[in-house]
């Protein structure tokens, strides 16, 4: 129970962002309940007057009061519906912002270890499931507490036994659901995990549709997905009985409590201990007392999924950051200065604490304003080095320095503003070309954006598109060719105007026919920048001022192309393998 209470407390913490809305929801709930009591009182008084021998005309004011209470109550119920939607939108925005902010701080090191479908389910459907608990159930607790106190005192005044019974039934209705929660929680956690898994598989199939079609596996995978969906539906129905078990108990409590209260009141009236008017009041008021409790029970059941998703939410929110952030460090390099030099000193690194080292004692000097290349076979540590430079991970041993300053002493956001990257896979976001380019520098002018596109050899094809820079590029830039996406990525790097440029296999995903134009754009991008080039195609780096060859996470050689050809067997093997690939390519043309 303690664990559940801690979870509830963490979730309720999100309501601190909307205290006015919480108070408004409680006040609306109390007003609606008060009008219910008012309506019941007017009706009870009207009947009492009639039973006492008065005419129908004497009940006119009571009937008007009952109708007025009903009308205002209906108006407030309608107002509450809209209020709840607006409050829910605010609360969900707060939670989503918190999750996304945390994911951004955790970075690729964490996200790469998780299924994108699972995270998408959490941020979308998972957050939606918190609305009943936070927006409906929590404020309703206050409404029920105030209503119970008021009604119990009123009933006590009319009949002490009935007052105690109403209080007891209300308390039981609140406590019972929490006694069932451990069993329900296990069921709902399994439900959410099954749902997230189904969603992840669906996203995988949608994103990999082209591959599935090309392999002739789309029908087979579709059948698997269908079977998984039916299995999920079947398990959901089995779990329904468990999740609704406490509902039967609560309904029994409220129903029996209402019936027994009225029965006791009738017995007491027959014994002369209660007036006829008081019996009528109890008859109408007990039902109104139980309405807020019944609503709370409904909200509680609607909250089950959210309370189960909370396990995953706080697993993300409580995940310790893998990167130690520096808040006080000031970079030695300042904007407008000469390009900085970089030193990688005796760096070792492992992805897991007890895993194998993927980099071992790597030392490199990357001179300022020059082009330094890093070569090696797949798995030699090239991309890992790029990730360490960007502080997606921190080194296990040694240090990486910019102008003699350890990058761990520089705030991460400041460090990444100093580095422009063109990755092997150019990621474009859903939106216009303009929006994608301005991500690099939102305050850039139209002229600066277009000049960056010209330098990247991208302006010509952009201008030829139907809407120019306002053309939608589709998800992941799917509506553009690989070469076009890569040139847009280079344009972003130029527009960012950072002193350090990282080119991570920047030409390996385009064919050789388009490589020349991209090579030309990259040459412009490298001007007056400290450039690190990671490449498979050795033709793109053989003119580098300095080449480092990595093999099995170690530096196997360093020098110019000529020096390496004379003294580095690892480089010689890479060059020989490259020539063989080029010969195969030429034969297939």
Q: Which helix (H) or strand (E) holds 48?
A: helix 19-51
Q: In this predicted structure, what is the pLDDT of residue 491?
A: 87
337-418+533-589 maps to CATH 3.40.50.300: yes
Q: Which CATH number is 14-317 given?
A: 1.20.1560.10
Report the alpha-carbon distance of residue 1 to residue 9 in Å, rounded. 12
Contacts of 540 (CB under 8 A, 6+ apart): 507, 515, 519, 533
The structure tokens listed for 198 are 């189904």
Tell me how far apart the alpha carbons of residues 122 and 127 are, in angstroms, rounded to a whole number.
6
Report the candidate in 402, 364, 361, 397 with the shortest Cα–Cα distance to residue 533. 364
Q: What is the pLDDT of residue 347?
A: 92
Cβ(74)–Cβ(31) below 8 Å: no
Segments in the chain below pLDDT 50: 585
Contacts of 377 (CB under 8 A, 6+ apart): 551, 574
Question: What's the pLDDT at 40?
Answer: 85
Output Rg (C-alpha) for the chain, integer angstroms: 34
Domain boundaries, the chain: 14-317, 337-418+533-589
Residues 45 and 47: their CA atoms lie apart, in Å, by: 5
Q: For residue 392, give the 3-state DSSP assignment.
A: coil
Q: Where are the alpha helices (DSSP H) in 216-326?
A: 218-243, 245-270, 276-317
Matching fold, domains 14-317 and 337-418+533-589: no
SS3 373: strand
What are the φ/ψ torsions at residue 88 (nearest 5 degrees)?
Answer: -60, -40
For residue 322, give both structure tokens: 């893998």
Tens digits of per-residue pLDDT, 249-294? 667 766 776 677 777 777 777 777 767 777 777 777 777 787 888 8
- Which DSSP helix (H) or strand (E) runs through 555? strand 554-559
Global model pTM greater than 0.85: no
Q: What is the pLDDT of residue 339?
A: 87
What is the end-to-end Cα distance of the chain in Å, rounded?
70
């Amino acid at each position: 129970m303690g664990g559940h209470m801690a979870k509830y407390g963490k979730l309720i913490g999100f309501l601190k962002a909307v205290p006015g809305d919480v108070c408004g929801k409680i006040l609306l709930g109390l007003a609606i309940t008060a009008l219910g009591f008012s309506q019941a009182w007017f009706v009870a008084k009207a009947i009492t007057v009639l039973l006492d021998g008065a005419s129908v005309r004497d009940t006119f004011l009571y009937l008007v009061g009952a109708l007025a209470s009903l009308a205002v109550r209906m108006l407030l119920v309608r107002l509450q519906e809209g209020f709840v939607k607006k409050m829910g939108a605010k609360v969900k925005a707060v939670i989503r912002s918190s999750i996304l902010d945390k994911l951004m701080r955790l970075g690729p090191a964490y996200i790469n270890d998780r299924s994108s479908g699972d995270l998408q389910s959490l941020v979308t459907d998972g957050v939606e499931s918190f609305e009943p608990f936070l927006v409906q159930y929590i404020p309703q607790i206050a409404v029920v507490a105030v209503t119970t106190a008021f009604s119990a005192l009123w009933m006590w005044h009319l009949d002490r036994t009935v007052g105690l019974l109403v209080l007891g039934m209300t308390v039981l209705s609140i406590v019972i659901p929490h006694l069932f929660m451990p069993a329900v929680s296990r069921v709902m956690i399994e439900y959410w995990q099954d749902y997230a898994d189904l969603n992840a598989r669906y996203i995988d199939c949608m994103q990999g549709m082209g591959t599935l079609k090309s392999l002739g596996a789309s029908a087979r995978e579709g059948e698997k997905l269908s079977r998984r969906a039916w299995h999920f539906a079947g398990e959901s129905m089995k779990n329904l009985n468990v999740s609704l078990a406490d509902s039967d108990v609560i309904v029994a409590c409220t129903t029996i409590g209402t019936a027994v209260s009225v029965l006791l009141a009738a017995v007491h009236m027959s014994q002369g201990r209660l007036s006829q008017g008081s019996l009528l009041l109890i008859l109408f008021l007990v039902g109104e007392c139980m309405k807020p409790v019944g609503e709370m029970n409904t909200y509680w059941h609607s909250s089950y999924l959210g309370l189960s998703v909370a396990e995953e939410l706080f697993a993300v929110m409580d995940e310790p950051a893998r990167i130690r952030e520096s808040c006080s460090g000031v970079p030695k390099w300042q904007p407008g200065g000469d390009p900085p030099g970089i030193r990688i000193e005796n760096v070792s690194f492992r992805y897991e604490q007890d895993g194998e080292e993927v980099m071992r004692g790597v030392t490199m000097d990357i001179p300022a304003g020059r082009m330094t290349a890093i070569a090696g076979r797949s798995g030699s540590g090239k991309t890992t080095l790029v990730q360490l430079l960007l502080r997606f991970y921190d080194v296990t041993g040694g240090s990486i320095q910019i102008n003699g300053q350890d990058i761990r002493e520089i705030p991460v956001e400041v460090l990444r503003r100093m580095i422009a990257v063109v990755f092997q896979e150019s990621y474009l976001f859903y939106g216009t070309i303009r929006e994608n380019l301005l991500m690099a520098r939102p305050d850039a002018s139209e002229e600066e954006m277009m000049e960056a596109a010209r330098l990247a050899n991208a302006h010509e094809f952009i201008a030829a598109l139907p809407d120019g820079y306002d053309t939608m590029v589709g998800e992941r830039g799917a509506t553009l060719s690989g070469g076009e996406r890569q040139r847009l990525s280079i344009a972003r790097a130029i527009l960012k105007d950072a002193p350090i440029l990282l080119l991570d296999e920047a030409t390996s995903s385009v064919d050789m026919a388009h490589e020349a134009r991209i090579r030309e754009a990259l040459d412009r991008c490298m001007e007056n920048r400290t450039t690190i080039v990671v490449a498979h195609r050795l033709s793109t780096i053989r003119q580098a001022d300095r080449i480092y060859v990595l093999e099995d996470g170690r530096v196997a050689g360093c020098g110019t192309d000529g020096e390496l050809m004379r003294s580095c067997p690892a480089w010689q093997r890479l060059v020989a393998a490259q020539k063989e690939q080029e010969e195969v390519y030429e034969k297939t043309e």
